[in-house]
Structure 1
């Protein structure tokens, strides 16, 4: 990779246009082609919270090193309409290239930049010449982009052929569109752009996927056999992926009539012995909270992915936030143990999902996988996942035809660990009860004070062994300089922008590290407390308004952040924003 004049060691594309012009698809296809050439990629889509229409765009960052988030600016703008150029010209790097339809005309004063290069290409004319449909303008743009950076157009043709396998006419038309867009740029502009993206010598196998897809794959590998959900952005991708794999995986996948129904179905399936899961966003999880409490009371292992978006109420359905942390930690009526884990990238989505199923069954508690729109709808390249890293552990579960013990089976037996032996419905010789009312060991309702206290304390005895096990799973992870003057602290999707910020800060001579809190409930008090000791400045990073992780840290460790960087406009951090906050603190 060679980019003359560009400050970063990556190059960023921005594809923009109207909804329906194939914005996300074209950006994703370009990313996959670049990945096949050996590059690492990160793609983020942006679309409004409306049913049809509006402006959409897709940011794609590519480098010969691993990339973790979009860049602050775009180097090449692929504009499928005039509006895209006018909206995004302020987000372009110095020397950026703008590829747009030759039919577009700009009035005097509309273009505010004189430090960018314009590359008009006859998108519409080429599509008409090949007998294609208007949406194929995006394919012409991909061919033009490939020529601009001297990238092998054959790789783009390959990924399009894979995407439209069996539809030969569409494949042929798109291949022709790529060729004509590529040739037009080469003939008319030559080497007019200073970046070259050739094949890398080392091209290790990689996959490109969203966080939703990684969670779904993690569930499959963990042995999930029942999934029920009601569609809700941004979590619907899990339902879509699993529905397409139901026969292959022998998983029962149900689109329920409501979030209430979905959660209760998951509890029922788990009660019958299946590893079970649902996914939703904030409003849907509100509807699930009573049933979530039922899972806590009946000690039924369930896994819930909560994909956050800005609220309150409907909020902004297609944007991102981290404002449901305290809701997840404290949700539902009464007190009972639960686990809340917040992965920070697609790799984390896969492995933490596998861990979630183990913890749910071993400790018979509900587990929340706390994500957000940025992490679960963005695409990232990664090494193929290793399912063998997390062995399936089902805990104290007896799978047998008959209960042979002389002792009558107690579903909620008081034990030293707080975990009761669990057997499946239909086991001969055993009565298996579930009761949302407070109950005694057999599961029958009770209001006896001693039995009520005994059952509450039994449930909470799980906390210490839970903490001990999670402590061995690296609940807090540290990246960057071992002797920092600046420590960034965050959780979830702030990881990607923070890691990119560390690289930028390092190039400026700033010693910095990032502390990622992965498991937030039970809270890793000792691990976090130790990392917040010593000299240097500490800056809290969150995409919410009230510093919710900061509140949890203060509650559990007593540490109060003097410096915070909070963003709550529905967009993720840019690495440059984090660096700017560091400079203010220093």
Structure 2
């Protein structure tokens, strides 16, 4: 259990710079040795509305948002009103001296005095927070110097002077906030979000092509690849629509480039024909679906887990596919690598099903270790027996030798039609059966490689909490609180939802007296899938589909509602 656990909410209207303050503070805390988990809540607009940046700070890793906050930094009056009930009874509101703290303990900042112009108000906010939390002044000074050095010495000096004035002023109010315990410095640690982590994992696996049409919250996968495209030799193409995105990526894959396509549910809706094309071509491809509430535009900047069944069944015809559902920012890296590896090995589409909560969520981590990553299968670049080469050769495991056009005299055929071993179009009924069975034979290999679900808790637990993807952190936290109350609770968490190997988890389901499935959708999609595969009943469903992430408090409240 952590020795301390604090949450800061920085809230205000879009355009007020709260994300800048939140990201800078999160980086400082990470360097100072704290475990940081930060989430963004933002509306679909450039200015106005009400957004928030929530930072959870502890001495142990946290993977979910808290239900209460200890500090509310409000940039406007609406921020005070909207987050008032989340503030702990001993919490503090930090706000401008022109705003009303609504009778809460507060620190009122004279921005007109501390900031020589409105541009520096964010630096004032950073200085105040660092002083009240007990962070050494040199930490924000160093970070501001790094950030503004490209803009010249005067800009650096002005920012550091503003920071210092705000920091010194705030030392008069340290009694209003409980300072953080000192930790060992870890300047080498990183602060990273889920989408960036997926992109880095894909790069570690050798991704060489990305095509995309911008769609929140998936676009930052492509942006990360763009940022590293020169050094890593990656081609990134923003195309005219999602139909073009996946079809172009299939072309790149056919030419030998490991390819990835980030999108959201609405974009994937346009890609389903191309998903089927990858199936019959047996062409490796990775699609990242960063889920948001639908249908249609829905709530484009909020979170949900509503696309599970769509990801499973999107596309016509029968063909193997793999669906991975990372649960943490760190696991996003593993899934980015695994997705490319599985796509290349099994010559099939692989879908990474994440969501806005995890895509935008920031976590402090050690740098990734690349030494023990499994090797990624490479195409057959040889040209032996080129005249007899068969792209869809019948093999014991259904995986055919995949050559690349242009690397010799081998003719590498690809088509959207039913075909024979060479790739020539056919309508022969017996051959059709043989080739379908050959393609589906790969499923037996894929099932042997399925990630088993993680089990946390007593093997003979009375109550089993079942989840998948990003809700694991909240579910584990809820289970820990229930255990402290004397309940016998365990958690079963899935990072791969298709295909499933029932033998890996059926005993856990059968041994539990009560099974509870916890999901971020309204129809309990994973519970439906589990019941269909195992015939084991799920006694209770805890759902959330208001666009907000699940928390431990929400889960526990819903668990005991009649």
TM-score w.r.t. length of structure 1: 0.92
Q: Which residue of structure 1 lines up, in the alignment, with residue 434 of structure 2?
A: 454
State the alpha-carbon separation in 1 of the partners of residues 461 and 144 from structure 2. 46
Match status 1:119 vs 2:125: no
State the alpha-carbon separation in 1 of the partners of residues 549 and 171 from structure 2. 36
Match status 1:88 vs 2:83: yes
Q: Which residue of structure 2 lines up, in the alignment, with residue 78 of structure 1?
A: 73
State the alpha-carbon separation in 1 of the partners of residues 430 and 79 from structure 2. 68
More moved, 460-469 vs 162-171:
162-171
State the alpha-carbon separation in 1 of the partners of residues 401 and 166 from structure 2. 65
* Per-residue deviation, 1:398: 1.1
* Per-residue deviation, 1:231: 0.7
Q: 1:165 to 1:536 in 2, by over 3 A?
A: farther
Q: Secondary structure at the match of 1:172?
A: helix
Paired residue for 1:577, among 546, 554, 557? 554
Residues 512-527 of structure 1 aligned to structure 2 (within 5 Å):
512-527=489-504
Paired residue for 2:165, among 180, 204, 207? 180
Match status 1:542 vs 2:522: no
Q: 8 Å contact 2:312–2:498 — kept in the other structure?
A: yes
Q: 8 Å contact 2:281–2:415 — kept in the other structure?
A: yes
Q: Which residue of structure 2 lines up, in the alignment, with residue 161 of structure 1?
A: 145
Q: 8 Å contact 2:188–2:366 — kept in the other structure?
A: yes
Q: 8 Å contact 2:514–2:538 — kept in the other structure?
A: no
Q: Which residue of structure 2 lines up, in the alignment, with residue 327 of structure 1?
A: 310
Q: 8 Å contact 2:322–2:498 — kept in the other structure?
A: yes
State the alpha-carbon separation in 2 of the partners of residues 568 and 8 from structure 1. 32
- What are the Cα deviations for residues 414-435 of structure 1, in whole angstroms up to 9, with x where unaligned? 1121111111111323111001
Q: Secondary structure at the match of 1:369?
A: strand
* Per-residue deviation, 1:577: 1.2
Match status 1:340 vs 2:323: yes
Q: Which residue of structure 1 lines up, in the alignment, with residue 375 of structure 2?
A: 392
Residues 317-466 of structure 1 aligned to structure 2 (within 5 Å):
317-394=300-377, 397-400=379-382, 403-405=383-385, 408-466=388-446
Paired residue for 1:31, among 10, 19, 26? 26
Q: Which residue of structure 2 lines up, in the alignment, with residue 141 of structure 1?
A: 125
- What are the Cα deviations for residues 495-542 of structure 1, in whole angstroms up to 9, with x where unaligned? 121122233333333332221111111122222312201143221110
Q: 8 Å contact 1:37–1:198 — kept in the other structure?
A: no
State the alpha-carbon separation in 1 of the partners of residues 165 and 323 from structure 2. 51
State the alpha-carbon separation in 2 of the partners of residues 475 and 375 from structure 1. 21
- What are the Cα deviations for residues 288-340 of structure 1, in whole angstroms up to 9, with x where unaligned? 11111111110000011110000000101000010000011111011110111
State the alpha-carbon separation in 2 of the partners of residues 563 and 313 from structure 1. 29
Residues 96-115 of structure 1 aligned to structure 2 (within 5 Å):
96-105=91-100, 111=102, 114=103
- What are the Cα deviations for residues 103-123 of structure 1, in whole angstroms up to 9, with x where unaligned? 2247xxxx2xx5x41110112
State the alpha-carbon separation in 2 of the partners of residues 124 and 82 from structure 1. 17
Q: Which residue of structure 2 lines up, in the alignment, with residue 197 of structure 1?
A: 180
Unaligned runs of 5+ in 2: none
Q: 8 Å contact 1:101–1:124 — kept in the other structure?
A: no
Provide the alpha-carbon RMSD of the alignment.
Answer: 1.9
State the alpha-carbon separation in 1 of the partners of residues 78 and 155 from structure 2. 28
Q: Secondary structure at the match of 2:61?
A: coil
State the alpha-carbon separation in 1 of the partners of residues 256 and 477 from structure 2. 43
Q: 8 Å contact 1:80–1:138 — kept in the other structure?
A: no
State the alpha-carbon separation in 2 of the partners of residues 219 and 60 from structure 1. 27
State the alpha-carbon separation in 2 of the partners of residues 177 and 326 from structure 1. 52
Q: Secondary structure at the match of 2:176?
A: coil
Paired residue for 2:232, among 249, 253, 258? 249
* Per-residue deviation, 1:241: 1.2
State the alpha-carbon separation in 2 of the partners of residues 365 and 570 from structure 1. 32
Q: Which residue of structure 2 lines up, in the alignment, with residue 4 of structure 1?
A: none
* Per-residue deviation, 1:205: 4.1
Q: 1:535 to 1:406 in 2, by over 3 A?
A: closer
Q: 1:121 to 1:51 in 2, by over 3 A?
A: closer
TM-score w.r.t. length of structure 2: 0.96
Q: 8 Å contact 1:404–1:429 — kept in the other structure?
A: no
Q: 8 Å contact 2:386–2:411 — kept in the other structure?
A: no
Residues 483-522 of structure 1 aligned to structure 2 (within 5 Å):
483-522=460-499
State the alpha-carbon separation in 2 of the partners of residues 169 and 229 from structure 1. 40
Q: Which residue of structure 2 lines up, in the alignment, with residue 559 of structure 1?
A: 536
Residues 218-233 of structure 1 aligned to structure 2 (within 5 Å):
218-233=201-216
* Per-residue deviation, 1:160: 2.7
State the alpha-carbon separation in 1 of the partners of residues 313 and 211 from structure 2. 23
Q: 1:226 to 1:533 in 2, by over 3 A?
A: same
State the alpha-carbon separation in 1 of the partners of residues 550 and 331 from structure 2. 19
Q: Which residue of structure 2 lines up, in the alignment, with residue 14 of structure 1?
A: 9
Q: 1:251 to 1:139 in 2, by over 3 A?
A: same
Unaligned runs of 5+ in 1: 2-6
Residues 260-271 of structure 1 aligned to structure 2 (within 5 Å):
260-271=243-254
Q: 1:294 to 1:502 in 2, by over 3 A?
A: same
* Per-residue deviation, 1:142: 1.9
